Amino acid sequence: DTEFFGRYFNALLDEGVFIAPSQFEAGFVSAVHTDEDVEATIEKTFHALKKAKK
């Protein structure tokens, strides 16, 4: 669903989370990311998903 991904991608950008601009690319966590980084990303992802559903 490229239309939904576009809304989700832009909602994540609004949250300050930058992901690959294609729904077919993977994302990775590195050793540099802290537990706080991961938790913040999860929270912002939930917000972005809710916004993209509208």
In angstroms, how far apart are the furthest CA atoms of the chain?
35
Please tell me the pTM assigned to this model: 0.83
- Write out the two tokens for 6: 């576009």
Average pLDDT over residues 14-37: 93
Residue 54 has pLDDT above 90, yes or no: no
Banded model confidence at residue 1, pLDDT cuts 50, 70, 90:
confident
Model confidence at 27: pLDDT above 90? no
**Taking the CA of residue 43 as centre, how many other CA atoms within 13 Å lie in the half-sphere pointing to its CB?**
7
At residue 20, the 3 state secondary structure works out as: coil
- Distances in Å between the Cα of 20 and the Cα atoms of 3, 54 are 16, 22
